[in-house]
Structure 1
Amino acid sequence: MHRSKWVLLALSCLLVIIAGCGKANNANTSAANGNAATGGQTKELRDVKFVLDWSPNTNHTGLYVAQAKGFYEEEGLKLDILLPGSGGADAMVASGEVPFGISYQESVTQGRTQGVPLVSIAAVIQHNTSGFAAPVDRSIKAPKDFEGKTYGGWGSPVEEAVMKSIMDIDGGDVNKVKIINMGEADFFTAVKRDIDFAWIFYAWTGIEAELRGEPLDMLYVKDYSDKLDYYTPVISTNEKQIKDDPELIKAFLRATSKGYQYAIQHPEEAADILLNAVPDLDKDLVIASQKWLSPKYQDDAARWGEQKQSVWQNYSDWMYEKKLIEKPLDADAAFTNDFLPENK
């Protein structure tokens, strides 16, 4: 459920990949609009690829619901959901290898300031559900309590910058935290072996901890600064896709929005659909996670997927202040609500 450990490496490779590819797949730019069935005649469905950021989980449920319920077929589309390749989802989307994928505001921001043409077209979750988590026996109740503890991460400069930001607010010193790369170990293995806390999405790892009977102290980063209440994850496309085939994006988001709306209204049924599509997932975890996460997809937004300019501006300003990006972001170009369906 956490972001890829190779985000920075993938971003560094994107410009090379884009230069090599330079064009969208012909299948992504061919005309194939309209419903799957009209007037008794069946039209050929248009194949559309979507790449996940990680293994399937409840961040992705709306996609699987829309696929199972035929919402994509109603738009004349046949969705193929892919796992990311070695270069990562952002590279695949930015290069035009696939038209859509899961990304994060953080990586879209980093990418765009390096000339990578990613654009966020929908927020999967309206508010940041991530934060620093520790078993309760580590007595981490506030950011200052990170002092003297060991943090396990994936090696991104963003981690220490966020930690420093919230520790500064609480009067703590980030230099008193031991930071290590936890590698491929999962959270539960790592906290038993060599770390005290890590950055998690509560909807997955936090819910799993509840089911295991291993209570956590959870410090949500958004609770310490409005600038850290950013969109994670998002659905992204690339600038060429927007220019060449905006109607495909509209059709894709009409179906996807229906999938997430269904998951909001029917979390248990949506969980069953995800489990049917990915039977290797833990049933109890998926159901409990879906119940926790479904209300948070849209939350206080006017419609699912909607993004605010202020959220993009605030977070990119924070990244620039912390020297995580080399120049300010043109926030208006980094996202768009133009392709989301209007509320009915």
Structure 2
Amino acid sequence: MFSLQKWGLGAVCCLLLILTACGGQSSAPQDTNASGPSGSGSTASGKLKDVKVVLDWTPNTNHTGLYVAKDQGYYEEAGLNVEIVQPGEGGADQMVASNAVPFGISYQESVTQARTQGVPLVSIAAVIQHNTSGFAAPVDRGIKSPKDFEGKKYGGWGSPVEEAVMKSIMELDGGDVSKVQNINMGDADYFTAVKRDIDFAWIFYAWTGIEAEQRGEQLDMLYVKDYSKSLDYYTPVIVTNEATLSSDPELVKAFMSATAKGYQYAIDQPEKAAEMLSKAVPELDKELVLASQQWLSPRYQDDAAQWGVQKAEVWKNYADWMYERKLLDKPLEAEKAFTNDFLPQDGKS
């Protein structure tokens, strides 16, 4: 249903189109709308503050903590009335960077591109500690290692990042990326595309991989993090903009306190969390949501001290990798791209 190309690389491409429009400013004009970043917590009259958080794509288990926080009243306890919205034509990054909404779901690769172009996005939490994406192929295609990509048809979006990652891991295995045929998948989902005209694609296992399991379709999955430490980056992340951080840090703190509770609940009780997501988004396949949640919940925090924590070395390693491959115009100032300052102290909300 959802490929990484649609979730991640497509978002990067959309962001690149709006970089110039953002003008590279370090802050955006203040939005006086209630959903913007001015003012935090409850108002003087005791009313909840209206706040929007924009998703990167269609709701899925990457987002469960948001829905749990809303369902369980964690946002209300923090003085917030949070509305979870889907991105407009320009994408979530553009909406957050322009200060149209204070919070959104993005990706380390997208934030890295943005920061080096002067776009004021800042990551405030890693939704998942380790990269769960990779190249997936039906087992009958015989793709057991990156070298096996040779002579095969890859379905993607034509992004330079795709070819760079493929080239990087193929070279480690003695492969030649020029021997891979690239095909634009368009709007086709993974399962349609592999039956029609491709052999493999880049997916998030937590959704497309689990869906394959449910369909009884066996996959060979090559996780990119297994081939390079630099490719074990954060995807997805929760982002805000520099204007919100500077003008209303209490809002960010309140939002992250409640959101962290939501993800901790999803870690501790994946089945109940899956029910909440399915209740909020009834058009999703309930069995897929449950299976995906059971697979993903232990991976939200994984080996980190607490959910959401980000490491400077992860940001630097991936940005250096991108810069070395001419995917960035200049090196990233990693320490400005993310912050852990708004996560609950000592893991407590």
TM-score by length of 1: 0.96
2:70 paired with 1:62: no
Question: Structure 1 residue 33: deviation in Å?
Answer: 2.8
Q: Give the SS at the match of 2:124.
A: strand
Mapped partners of 2:20, 2:243: distance in 1:
14
Number of the residue aligned with 1:276: 279
2:318 paired with 1:315: yes
- Compute the RMSD of aligned alpha carbons: 1.6
**1:101-154 deviations in Å (ceiling 9; x for gaps):** 000000000011011000000000000000000000000000000000000002
Number of the residue aligned with 1:31: 39
Question: Structure 1 residue 91: deviation in Å?
Answer: 0.2
Cα separation, partners in 2 of 1:270 and 1:18, compared to 1, 3 Å = farther
Number of the residue aligned with 1:10: 15
**1:185-228 deviations in Å (ceiling 9; x for gaps):** 00000000000000000000000000000000000000000000
Number of the residue aligned with 1:226: 229
2:52 paired with 1:49: yes
Identity of aligned residues (%): 70
Number of the residue aligned with 1:172: 175
Conserved? CA contact 2:130–2:234, under 8 Å: yes
**Paired letter, 1:31:** G
Q: Give the SS at the match of 1:151.
A: strand
Structure 2, unaligned stretches of length 5 or more? none
Mapped partners of 1:22, 1:32: distance in 2:
18
**Paired letter, 1:325:** L
Mapped partners of 1:94, 1:29: distance in 2:
12
Equivalent residue for 2:120, pick from 102, 117, 122: 117
Mapped partners of 1:19, 1:125: distance in 2:
28
Mapped partners of 1:186, 1:96: distance in 2:
32
**Paired letter, 2:30:** A
Conserved? CA contact 2:138–2:218, under 8 Å: yes
Number of the residue aligned with 2:216: 213
Conserved? CA contact 2:210–2:292, under 8 Å: yes
Question: Structure 1 residue 298: deviation in Å?
Answer: 0.3
Number of the residue aligned with 2:297: 294
TM-score by length of 2: 0.94
2:160 paired with 1:154: no
Mapped partners of 1:115, 1:19: distance in 2:
4
Number of residue pairs matched by the alignment: 339
Mapped partners of 2:41, 2:204: distance in 1:
37
Mapped partners of 1:62, 1:294: distance in 2:
10
**Paired letter, 2:300:** Y
**1:273-313 deviations in Å (ceiling 9; x for gaps):** 00000000001100000000000000000010000000000
Question: Structure 1 residue 19: deviation in Å?
Answer: 7.7
